[in-house]
Structure 1
Amino acid sequence: MSIPASELILNPDGSIYHLHLRPEHLATTVITVGDPDRVDTVTGYFDTITHTVQRREFKTTTGIYKNKSITVISTGIGTDNIDIVFNELDALANIDLETRMIKETHTSLDIIRIGTSGAIQEEIPVDSFLLSDMAIGLDALLHFYNSTHIQYPEIQKAFVKHMDWSPQKSEPYIVSCNKELASVFNGENIVKGVTATNIGFYGPQGRVLRLPTSDAMMNMKLGEFRFRESKITNLEMETAGIYGLAKLLGHRAVSLNAILANRVTGDFSTQPSKTVDKLIQYTLDRIATM
């Protein structure tokens, strides 16, 4: 059965609604970044650019790096935008946009997030790189999908108990990266950890300007949580949504974080652009070996 026009929305030129992309514009290796300006930073290393388009916060450029075709797309901030980007990327790969029918042959994308993050463990230095082995979603995105089979209920229950999690907040969900794809980016300079994906930047990450938070001890409790050998290492706003939707849609995903702040020590990078650029170069060179 074809997908109705109200559910799969296309532009007059046949491109997917928000991203303004057509299937031929998409590589099977995709880098996601938050900031649209960072797309140009990444693709500045490309040998060739084959396509570029921007609509709102979603900027996409596809090109060639060391004989590898790569698409770089900005998602903006938050898992709400991840919902848009990942569903539309999957539609480009796995739905015939002319017939509105799901393709018989599934195409799996390799999706690598290059993002920034703040550490909540004192021993993780500013300007280091962290690979999110797992992510805890403190938003509600995955609960809108049939997703319990990819979650980790035992860890989730332990986390809710440890945090004394308020029932007024959405139930945390835990998902993991694709281990095979993650192995490509392992290295002596890479720290592995569990990332907390927050629904906001200020109160949801324990920042206080003029508004008090509902749990002043939240970040301390996050840092103290342990499940066997795992502990929460850093905070950001996209990874859990990326891991959850990638698994549900049959894609491989890994999130790489440039640690620009340490919330325990109060330190912030004196060279954030340089640190992010080093992570970009590291990621591109590892992708070229795939």
Structure 2
Amino acid sequence: MNQISNADLIINQDGSIYHLNLLPEDIADTVITVGDPDRVSEVSRYFDRIELKKGKREFITHTGYLGSRRITVLSTGIGTDNIDIVLNELDALVNIDFKTRQVNNMLKSLDIIRIGTSGAVQEDIPMGSIIVSEFGLGLDALMQYYVHEVSGDERILLDAVKSHFHHLKGITPYITAADHGLLETIGKDLLKGITVTAPGFYSPQGREVRAKTAFPGLVDLFRTFSSGRQRITNLEMETAGIYALAKALGHKAISVNAILASRVKFEFSSNPAKIIDGAIQMVLAKL
């Protein structure tokens, strides 16, 4: 087997992975990701026991137990550029022998559960809703750098997306489904839809403050998309990257979105902390 070079897989002097600063034994098989580093403790405070706290840059990690289940909660920071780091390094921690720098003979599949905030693009989705992403639709460039396969349902949706968004020149969308098993457990009885992952917060999500947007009416374009029973429900900045890289690496992923804003009603929640906490408690109760 080929060794992975020192330049391709950077390991710190203490044996930890480069950015996350974690050792292989530091992470559980169930990983909850959050964007905000401060949200890590908002999740781990519900643990019965915390065995590890580590941090480097925006990547804060707590590992502990909820009952007998070992869980890691990890902050990713914002955007799919950070997801590229987090997913690859999580995979390396469980599937590469750091001493030999070779891929393990037996590969491990992590359960990766994103708990994040989002804005709704449909009028019938009220503030405070919890939406599970049945599909992640990426408008960023991350997956142009990876070989990844598209399934039958994904291909049908992607063709419909390309047709609906044909005039958005320079954007190459990609789409990936949530893990079916996690959709049936974490996502059971929750509102589901297509989540758009944008490469920014302002113009890429249809906002205009001072700099002029190149794509006027973007939110309305999201709102009016449909394919069969599928529609775009919400916007955020990580889900599609998590789904696509998790699938490429053989992991299972689900994204749970706390709706803090209505992009069509131009409203933002007056109590976002309560909505986020409700999403956290809901996910932990289903584990």
Same fold (TM over 0.5): yes
Say whether the 8 Å CA contact 1:137–1:172 is kept in structure 2. Answer: yes
Instruction: For 1:166 and 1:43, locate their aligned partners in 2 and report how far apart those are by CA, in whole Å.
Output: 41
Query: SS of 2:28's equivalent?
Result: coil
Equivalent residues in 2 for 1:233-272, closer than 5 Å? 233-272=233-272
- Alignment check: 8 A CA contact 2:111 2:253 kept: yes
Partner of 1:278 in structure 2? 278
CA distance in 2, matches of 1:234, 1:166: 19
- Matched residue count: 285
State the distance in 1 between where 2:175 and 2:227 align.
Answer: 12
Alignment match, 1:9: 10
2:138 is aligned with what amino acid?
G
What is the CA deviation profile of residues 68-108 of structure 1, one whole-angstrom value per residue up to 9, with x for unaligned ones?
A: 10000000000010000000000000000111010000111
Match of 1:84 in 2: 85
Q: Distance in 1 between matches of 2:128 and 2:40?
A: 20
Q: CA separation in 1, counterparts of 2:184 and 2:157?
A: 23
Unaligned 5+ runs, structure 1: none
Report sequence identity in percent. Answer: 50
Give 3-state SS (helix, strand or coil) of 2:38's partner.
helix
Whole-angstrom CA distance in 1 between matches of 2:240 and 2:228: 20
Q: Distance in 2 between matches of 1:165 and 1:35?
A: 34
8 Å Cα contact 2:206/2:219 also seen in 1: yes
Offset at 1:187? 4.1
Cα distance in 2 for residues equivalent to 1:205 and 1:163: 14
- Aligned twin of 1:60: 61
The answer to whether 1:192 aligns with 2:209 is no
**CA separation in 1, counterparts of 2:146 and 2:203?**
26
Equivalents in 1 of 2:207, 2:147: separation in Å? 32
Q: Does 1:164 align with 2:170?
A: no
- Could you tell me which residue of structure 2 aligns to residue 23 of structure 1? 24
Find the aligned partners of 1:46 and 1:148 in 2 and give their Cα distance: 37
| Selected match of 1:153 from 152, 155, 163 | 155
What is the CA-CA distance between 1:18 and the residue it aligns to? 0.1
Structure 1 residue 48: deviation in Å?
1.0
Contact 1:163-1:218 within 8 A present in 2 as well: no
Deviation at 1:157, TM superposition (A): 2.7
Encode CA deviations 1:9-51: one digit per residue, 9 max, x unaligned.
Answer: 0101010000000011010000000000000110011111111
Structure 2 regions of 5+ residues with no counterpart? Answer: none
Residue number in structure 1 paired with 2:144: 143
**1:161 Cα deviation after fit:** 2.1
Residue in 1 that maps onto 2:182 = 181
Name the SS of the counterpart of 1:149 in structure 2: coil
> Who is 1:101 aligned against?
102
Provide the rounded CA distance (Å) in 1 between the counterparts of 2:86 and 2:253: 14
Are 1:114 and 2:132 matched, yes or no? no
Query: CA shift at 1:158, angstroms?
Result: 2.1
TM-aligned CA deviation for residue 167 of structure 1: 2.9
**Equivalences for residues 219-230 of structure 1 within 5 A:** 219-230=219-230
Question: In the alignment, residue 100 of structure 2 is paired with which amino acid?
Answer: T
Q: Equivalent residue for 2:207?
A: 207
Cα distance in 2 for residues equivalent to 1:26 and 1:146? 27
* 8 A Cα contact 1:117 1:261, kept in partner: yes
Q: Distance in 2 between matches of 1:203 and 1:15?
A: 37
| In structure 1, distance between residues paired with 2:278 and 2:151 | 32
Question: Partners in 1 of 2:21 and 2:151 — Cα distance?
Answer: 30
Alpha-carbon separation, structure 2, partners of 1:178 and 1:153? 16
After TM superposition, the score normalised by the length of structure 1 is 0.96
